[in-house]
Amino acid sequence: MNQIVDLIKNGKAKLDEGKFEDALGYFEQALLLDQKNSELWNNKGVALRSIGRYDEAIECFNKSLEIDPRDKAAS
């Protein structure tokens, strides 16, 4: 589980730095380990939206809401 935490932390750091492709890579790696994490789907959606891949971002936000309908962070 620590690996997922590190991947999320690194992904968020890359988002903050504006390195959206790198962030996306971290979130995708984490999703390979945990498909049921709504935060991960939301973060992946943010990265995708930031690089202009809007349709894929919407799919990620919808997946996040499927997992946790109360997820207020889902953009």
Whether the predicted pLDDT of 15 surpasses 90: yes
Whether the predicted pLDDT of 75 surpasses 60: no
Whether the predicted pLDDT of 1 surpasses 90: no
- For residues 24 and 26, give the distance between their C-alpha atoms in angstroms, rounded to a whole number: 5
pLDDT in tens, 42-73: 999 999 999 999 999 999 999 999 998 875 66
- For residues 22 and 36, give the distance between their C-alpha atoms in angstroms, rounded to a whole number: 22
Residue ranges per structural domain of the chain = 2-67
- Residue range 4-15: mean pLDDT, rounded: 95
Residue 69: per-residue pLDDT: 85
Tokens 């997992």 sit on residue? 67
Model pTM?
0.89
Domain formed by 2-67, architecture:
Alpha Horseshoe (1.25)
